[in-house]
Amino acid sequence: MTTTLTAPALSAVDRCDRCNAQAYVRVVLPNGSDLLFCSHHWNRHEDALRPQAVQVVDETHRLAPVPAGE
């Protein structure tokens, strides 16, 4: 039997490791640890982390767009 590990979906209790805002991105590293990021911090660190990641769970599509003019 083969077991495949997948990162669980993110929920409102998952917090960004940098600022404690709600996390929308989980980065799984080769050693099995994971990092959680809000959209802002993911945008800031994506270029450095994506090449090292085994898996990236990006749920930023769940964020509501900002209405024009605000």
* Count of domains forming the chain: 1
Q: Would you state the structure tokens that stand for residue 44, as one six-digit string?
A: 């800031």
55 lies in some domain: yes
B/e letters for 41-53, b = 16+ CB within 10 Å, e = fewer, are bbeeebeebeeeb
Average pLDDT in the chain: 89
* pLDDT, tens digit, 9 for 90 and up, residues 42-55: 999 999 999 999 99
Domain that holds residue 50: 25-62
35 lies in some domain: yes
Question: Are the C-beta atoms of residues 10 and 24 closer than 8 Å to each other?
Answer: yes
Rg (alpha carbons) of the chain, rounded to whole number:
14
Give pTM, 2 decimals.
0.81
